[in-house]
Structure 1
Amino acid sequence: MAVNWAGLVGVIIFYILILAIGLYASKKTKGSTSTDEVMLAGRSIGLSIGVFTMTATWVGGGFINGTAQSVYADGLIYTQAPWGYSCSLIVGGLFFAKKMREQGYVTMLDPFQLKFGKRMGGLLFLPALSGEIFWSSAILAALGSTFSVILDIDTTLAIIVSACIAMSYTLFGGLYSVAYTDVVQLICIFIGLWFSVPFAFTSEHFTTISGPNSTWLGTWDNRYAGEWIDYAFLLVCGGLPWQVYFQRVLSASSARYAQILSYSAGFGCLIMTIPSILIGAIATSTNWTATDYKREVEDSNLVLPLVLQYLTPQAVSTIGLGAVCAAVMSSADSSLLSASSMFSRNVYKLVIRQHATEKEIIWVMKGSIVVFGALATTLAITINSINGLFYLCADFVYVILFPQLVSVVYIGFTNTYGSVCAYFIGLILRLGGGESLLGLNPFIKYPYFDEDMGKQLFPFRTFSMLMSFATLLLVSRLFQYLFTNEVLDKEWDVFECVTNIPPAADSFEMKPKDVDIGEAIEVRDNGEKPLKSNIKFSGVFNPGYDIEF
């Protein structure tokens, strides 16, 4: 097949448009040295743009390609990502968005570091980073497969070019550029995919999805019930502790808006996934040997681009390709900005160089965008399964970060000892289950392990999460008892979080409230003990910022 030059020109024009919009939006942060402006768009995201950018964050290339792939390969009954992530957004709005926004944090990891200490926050950054990187990889891999089918362009080249464009406007404009381009991208996704569906339905090679031989709904097998439950909880609960989500929550102009954005995006994700489900269903009832493709589909990763290429006219397939490009851009830029925001603030600023200036932090963030973008691009080129990456990206976030997120938001007595133990218990139990995508064989065979397939049928991810959560609670209580009852001398409190608390702690928590200028305010350290310093309020206070005294 020769290169589709018309389609290529259309994609180039689309990329130029997105780049122009991103660079135009970057003018809002031009010359700004405020991390609040660059990372959170000045906390000024309203409802209109907020709904678009929150929805576009999840509706990426991995989301729409992976959904079509799953419907084709396994059936709708096993396609859990659309409703799983939608439920996750709604749960986030109910239980986490308001509380996090009211505290005025800058990143998702801020409350972790306030409660468990700066270094523990840096350790928790690792699973958060892996989630964002795997997410970006899934998105870029989806784009590469689409380019290779529709345009006959080398997959590697398509992935690299797309990643570079997403990085470029994110570098200059931060969240402003990401949010403004999300509006255009989400519109393109909606129009592009819905425009393609009627043509695919009326193709001469398509039969029907309502016949007795139709397979798109899938067939339930009780053997996989545990695995199904495992993935269901993984998607709903594992979709919460993401900086890419909380970055939108924290950028909302109010706590109430943060909740509304979450609810709206949850319903938006369901609506946006319908055309992908239909495309996957169409693929199951198509006589592929009669098309120009001339063979059955062996690689389910290619389902969506194959339907666009062989069941729709060329002009329509190009429009559909534009939708995939838009989906990729809308999520890749968000993930890269989220990962770099956490690194620059929660690792570089609070762990490595505490006295770094705002300008220095922004430069570190921009450098991180390039580094993390290169890493995600490399993984997208070397790992094949889009849907596998799509699930894997939430694993470590679910097992390790979800229990700790619930803890810092709702549970007061947990401490660093419990956090450290829970971290490694969760990590060992999850890795023990194995991971074929990473070539890791299971060294823990959970109940119902299938020897023939080498597959865990027990919901071991959820089990690992629950064990991590239980460890966090029990170990925290244990050390609290040992130190407060003087079973252990306070000098053994090496994490300085129970009794051996420094008289002038360098990190503290303040509850946001209205404070008048000149009013004395009480500051508490990580151990909830008031510091003795008599501090007078002398300006506008935002609890997301550090205060030096």
Structure 2
Amino acid sequence: MAVDIPGLVAVVIFYIAILATGIWASRKSRKEEKKCIGSKSEVTIVGGRNINVLVGIFTMTATWVGGGYIMGTAEAVYSPAQGLIWAMGPPAYLITFLMGGLFIAKPMRSKRYLTMLDPFQHHYGNSFTTALLLPALISDILWVACVLAALGGTMSVILGLSSNVSIIVSAAVSITYTFLGGLYSVAYTDIIQLCFIFVSLWFCIPFMLLSPASADNAHTAFHNQSNTGPWLGELKLEDAGKWADEMLLLAMGGLAYQALHQRILSAASSAQAQITCFAAAGVVPLMGLPSVIIGAVAASADWNQTEYGLPSPYDRGEAGRILPLALQYLAPSWVSVLGIGSVAAAVMSSMDSALLSSASMFTQNIYKRILRTQASERELQWVIRVSVLLLGLGGTALAFGDDSVFAFWLVSGDLVYCIILPQLICVLHFRRANSYGAISGYLVGMVLRLLSGEPLLRIPAVILYPGWREQDGVIIQYFPFRTLSTLVSLLCILIVSYLAELVFSHRLLSLSWDVLGVFGEKEESEDEDKPEHQTKPNNITSTFL
């Protein structure tokens, strides 16, 4: 396939505009650093807590409206085995932001944390925080791989450009402006990217609907068309467990992403953080409507009337690329170029957020608090930049060669949903949770999730839940196993924490058995708050032996 030179030029101009915006924002970031009285790394991580409401809404929304969201939603609507009812992104993310505004924004912002891991570090200490960083890093890297894979597939279809080249160039642009300007660059480029996504996709839709190959979408919503099924889809009783599991994964798992917390913590106040979440809850589903329409048009189209011909994209195993294929063959070429620009914008708006999120957690919670407690502000800023570069390279490497964007999209949230979310709920809302419960919940959640298997990562299923099926030699779980892992982990944290407190507070075991120092330290801190005449002896252990 020949390279579309005019289209390539248009995309290059768009990339230059994004890069220029990122560089301009990096200068604004440096000006804020000079004004900043406290930590300059705070400007890089949370914008000096000076991001206004409008910019906050844009960057919050753009972070979730990524390549996985746009292409994954279209893929789900188009696929005969799924349909609209399986396009979970829009309703799931509405729930994410509503829950974030109600239960996450106020407790996080009021404590003036810098990262999602700060409450864990304050409550449990450094070792457990380090253990939590690992699933968060893996999740962000998979997220980067997801959005880059989406872009690579789009450019190869529409521009005739190698997907590998597309991935590398897009990653380089996103890494560069994130490297230079931190959250300011990410936030201000998000404004351009989100506007372009919205305008360009809606502009493409009328041309696709008027294509000679397009059928009556209202009719095909309920009836088979060509080699596809009705695009509304069907939820069978035996599939309900899988549907509920994936919906809860996307809806609740999003609460445990540093990208969400970074935007909450960049707000000027707790009230502003809540407003940002609630506004994003209304905007994100609207941003998914164009993908739903494009998926429906593709499911209804007679592909034999296009240059693509038969067999259909689904039969060729190209359902993951249905959005760019529909743009390419159901719309004029100059219109499809606008469509690829929207995907490129979505990819960079999510990728930069994921990169900065993980880099911020590593720098603030590991490097500054554990490895180099005396590190200078300049040193910390360079650590953030190097981390952005390394994480970007890791995600880019994983992006090559995967066909299903939707699969990557789901797996990127698995670890945070099953491991981090139960921990976050407990550390914010159950103050009696302690290190014994946290460690137990972490191990149980991780083991249960791994034993359930993961086809994308070639992890075989050891536990076979009710309703499992074998497809092409691979075990597919139709039981809500992810949600089970999450709930068991949550219960484990609460029960073990309660039992540990019961055992030590009633002296069923001597405090000398408190190997993690949870209850000895607790009593000492309580003693410090009491008047001198009420204070217990310093040697708490010997008192009760």
Map 1:99-178; keep pairs closer than 5 Å. 99-178=107-186
CA displacement at 1:42 relative to structure 2: 0.8
- What is the aligned partner in structure 1 of residue 256 from structure 2? 241
The residue type paired with residue 91 of structure 1 is M
- What is the aligned partner in structure 2 of residue 256 from structure 1? 271
- What is the aligned partner in structure 1 of residue 537 from structure 2? none
- 2:50 corresponds to 1:35: no
- 2:379 corresponds to 1:360: yes
- What is the aligned partner in structure 1 of residue 94 from structure 2? 86
Tell me which moved more, 352-361 or 224-233: 352-361
Structure 2 unaligned segments of length 5 or more: list them.
34-38, 533-545
- What TM-score results when the alignment is normalised by the length of structure 1? 0.90
CA displacement at 1:229 relative to structure 2: 1.1
Tell me which moved more, 25-34 or 8-17: 25-34
Contact 1:493 1:500 in 2 (8 A): no
CA displacement at 1:269 relative to structure 2: 0.8
The residue type paired with residue 416 of structure 1 is S
Counterpart secondary structure, 2:475: coil
Contact 1:344 1:364 in 2 (8 A): yes
- 2:511 corresponds to 1:490: yes
- What is the aligned partner in structure 2 of residue 68 from structure 1? 74
- 2:380 corresponds to 1:344: no
- What is the aligned partner in structure 2 of residue 546 from structure 1? none
Provide the rounded CA distance (Å) in 2 between the counterparts of 1:109 and 1:221.
40
The Cα offsets for residues 523-548 of structure 1, whole Å up to 9 and x where unpaired, read as: xx6xx6647999xxxxxxxxxxxxxx
1:217 pairs, out of 232, 238, 242, with 232
- 2:256 corresponds to 1:231: no
- What is the aligned partner in structure 1 of residue 22 from structure 2? 22
- What is the aligned partner in structure 2 of residue 44 from structure 1? 50
CA displacement at 1:293 relative to structure 2: 1.3
- What is the aligned partner in structure 1 of residue 342 from structure 2? 323
CA displacement at 1:460 relative to structure 2: 0.7
The residue type paired with residue 313 of structure 1 is P
The Cα offsets for residues 499-526 of structure 1, whole Å up to 9 and x where unpaired, read as: 25696xxxxxxxxxxxxxxxxxxxxx6x
- What TM-score results when the alignment is normalised by the length of structure 2? 0.91
Counterpart secondary structure, 2:518: coil
Map 1:378-457; keep pairs closer than 5 Å. 378-451=397-470, 454-457=475-478
- What is the aligned partner in structure 2 of residue 12 from structure 1? 12
Provide the rounded CA distance (Å) in 2 between the counterparts of 1:529 and 1:362.
39
Aligned residues: 511
The Cα offsets for residues 99-156 of structure 1, whole Å up to 9 and x where unpaired, read as: 2111100001100111111110111111111221111111111000000000111111
Structure 1 unaligned segments of length 5 or more: list them.
504-524, 535-549
The Cα offsets for residues 257-305 of structure 1, whole Å up to 9 and x where unpaired, read as: 1001101111111100000000000000111122111231021011000
CA displacement at 1:445 relative to structure 2: 1.0
Counterpart secondary structure, 1:499: helix
Runs of 4+ in 1 over 4 A off after TM superposition: 500-503, 531-534
CA displacement at 1:350 relative to structure 2: 1.6
The Cα offsets for residues 427-475 of structure 1, whole Å up to 9 and x where unpaired, read as: 0101111000001110111222224562111111111111101110111
- What is the aligned partner in structure 2 of residue 539 from structure 1? none
CA displacement at 1:391 relative to structure 2: 0.8
1:205–1:251 CA distance, 2 compared to 1 (3 A): same
Provide the rounded CA distance (Å) in 1 between the counterparts of 2:211 and 2:467.
44
Provide the rounded CA distance (Å) in 2 between the counterparts of 1:533 and 1:244.
43
Contact 1:496 1:502 in 2 (8 A): no
Provide the rounded CA distance (Å) in 2 between the counterparts of 1:292 and 1:89.
42
Identity between Structure 1 and Structure 2 (%): 44
Counterpart secondary structure, 1:207: coil
1:131–1:533 CA distance, 2 compared to 1 (3 A): farther
The residue type paired with residue 215 of structure 2 is T
Provide the rounded CA distance (Å) in 1 between the counterparts of 2:376 and 2:492.
38
1:382–1:485 CA distance, 2 compared to 1 (3 A): farther
Provide the rounded CA distance (Å) in 2 between the counterparts of 1:377 and 1:502.
49
Provide the rounded CA distance (Å) in 2 between the counterparts of 1:222 and 1:66.
23
Provide the rounded CA distance (Å) in 2 between the counterparts of 1:533 and 1:3.
78
Q: CA RMSD in A?
A: 1.7
1:217–1:161 CA distance, 2 compared to 1 (3 A): same
- What is the aligned partner in structure 1 of residue 498 from structure 2? 477
CA displacement at 1:382 relative to structure 2: 4.2
The residue type paired with residue 145 of structure 2 is S
1:529–1:477 CA distance, 2 compared to 1 (3 A): farther
Map 1:279-294; keep pairs closer than 5 Å. 279-294=294-309
Counterpart secondary structure, 2:207: helix
Contact 1:415 1:498 in 2 (8 A): no
CA displacement at 1:164 relative to structure 2: 0.8
- What is the aligned partner in structure 1 of residue 538 from structure 2? none
CA displacement at 1:254 relative to structure 2: 1.2
- What is the aligned partner in structure 2 of residue 54 from structure 1? 60
Provide the rounded CA distance (Å) in 1 between the counterparts of 2:378 and 2:515.
34
CA displacement at 1:29 relative to structure 2: 2.4
Provide the rounded CA distance (Å) in 2 between the counterparts of 1:324 and 1:531.
56
